[in-house]
Copies of this chain bind each other. A is one copy, B any other.
Amino acid sequence: MIVVMKPRAAQQSIRAVISYIEKNGLQVHLSEGEEVTIIGIVGDKSKLSTENLTIFKDVDHIVPVTESYKLANRKFHPEATTVRVGNTSIGPGSLTIMAGPCAVESEDQLMCIARAVKAAGATILRGGAYKPRTSPYSFQGLEEEGLKYMQEAKACTGLSTICEVVSLEAIEAAVKYVDMIQIGARNMQNFILLKEAGQSGLPVLLKRGLCATIDEWLNAAEYIIAEGNPNVVLCERGIRTFETATRNTLDLSAIPVLRTRTHLPVIADPSHSTGSYKYVGPMAKAAVAADADGLMIEVHNDPAHALSDGPQSLNFEKFMALTSELAPFCRLMGRKLGEEGI
């Protein structure tokens, strides 16, 4: 942490800052430049609320020099992490495709979709049983019944499974039926849920909040890992910007940025970010080329009649075509697509 003083700061002001820091058990390193004086803080910063220093007289601003996340930080864990999910895994060398409907609508629907996505190369079945919807009057999901269908689909196809959770109750149900839980964008800073997910024992897919910075996202991951659960996978799913031509703006630059900051795997969701099936293919390829460890793609047997997110869902034919097109991109990136990635 560095305290930058205003030009021509009074000696008295400088002494006040130093005194405050030292009283809190830390040391200072003073640097008096031609224009400004800079005070470095040395020692265990958890001992003081450094932001308070901005109130001190003649203080211009405070510069943090270290990130607040440690367990998720690549600086301290240089090796890339591989996260095991059911009988597959996410990480270096493989390209994991999670596919399935936005919402589980019925046993038949899910089974039919599960078979199709398996045939096309997906290794994880996604399906929403607890749906966070903007309006209280929209379909909210089948809840535990939906999870049971997920379990059956797993039994039939061998696919691993993932389901979004929105509450402790949902986590407790998910633990019984699926292989991985997802924290959605709207709950990325629901810290209670993050802690509960950390205690669940299941691997967690953590979606980026719509207006979360990469640093806030990694701090959210830290909440989960700090509970003893290191199996966190990040999912870039678009951020909110002024552009309305797509539902959100898929921030693919986040992938190489994350590679430098964290050891956790990162996947991309071209369905939710773009909001239109027309853009899913190009963005899926782009994500693979940007070195994503996986993709989450919405697939539906009959998008025109989907209860949720029909416009962005691929039908079976389109999904099959997409995975075929993705295969050579995976090879170029040194990643195995689908089952071979185990």
Hey, which bits of chain A sit against chain B, CB under 8 A?
Answer: 2, 4, 6-7, 20, 29, 31-36, 38, 40-43, 46, 49, 51-52, 54-56, 60, 63, 65-66, 68-69, 75, 132-138, 166-167, 186-187, 189-193, 209-211, 213-216, 219, 222-223, 226, 239-246, 249-257, 260, 273-274, 276-279, 281-283, 285-291, 303-311, 328-329, 332
Contact A251 B249 (CB under 8 A): yes
Q: Which residue of B lies closest to A26 (CB)?
A: B34
Sample of 20 further A-B pairs with CB below 8 A, known A60-B65, A63-B63, A252-B286: A2-B38, A4-B65, A7-B75, A31-B38, A33-B42, A35-B66, A36-B65, A36-B66, A49-B306, A52-B306, A55-B310, A68-B137, A134-B189, A134-B219, A136-B191, A136-B226, A166-B190, A249-B249, A286-B289, A329-B329
Contacts A190-B190, A222-B135, A251-B243 given; does A65 touch B282 at CB 8 Å: no
Contacts A2-B2, A256-B283 given; does A222 touch B20 at CB 8 Å: no
Contact A257 B244 (CB under 8 A): no
Contact B289 A282 (CB under 8 A): yes
Contact B223 A242 (CB under 8 A): no
Q: Closest approach, in angstroms, between the C-beta of A32 and any C-beta of chain B? A: 8
Copies in the complex: 4
Q: Closest approach, in angstroms, between the C-beta of A21 and any C-beta of chain B? A: 12
* Complex contacts, A189 vs chain B, CB 8 Å: 132, 134, 186-187
Choice from B243, B256, B276 contacting A282 with Cβ under 8 Å? B256
Contact B29 A31 (CB under 8 A): yes
Q: List 8 A-B pairs, minimum CB-CB distance, nearest first.
A: A211-B211, A52-B310, A289-B289, A186-B189, A285-B289, A286-B290, A286-B286, A68-B135
Contacts A38-B65, A310-B52 given; does A219 touch B286 at CB 8 Å: no
Contact A289 B40 (CB under 8 A): no
Q: Which residue of B lies closest to A277 (CB)?
A: B55
* Complex contacts, A211 vs chain B, CB 8 Å: 209-211, 240, 242
Contact A279 B304 (CB under 8 A): no
* Complex contacts, A260 vs chain B, CB 8 Å: 278
* Complex contacts, A244 vs chain B, CB 8 Å: 213, 244
Q: Which residue of B lies closest to A273 (CB)?
A: B253
- How far apart are the CA atoms of A187 and B249 in the complex, in Å? 22
* Complex contacts, A190 vs chain B, CB 8 Å: 166, 186-187, 190, 193
* Complex contacts, A68 vs chain B, CB 8 Å: 134-135, 137-138
- How far apart are the CA atoms of A173 and B67 in the complex, in Å? 34
Contact B291 A289 (CB under 8 A): no
* Complex contacts, A289 vs chain B, CB 8 Å: 282, 285-286, 288-289, 329
Choice from B219, B241, B249 contacting A136 with Cβ under 8 Å? B219
* Complex contacts, A52 vs chain B, CB 8 Å: 303-306, 310-311
Name, among A65, A223, A311, the residue most crowded by chain B CB atoms within 10 Å (CB to CB).
A65
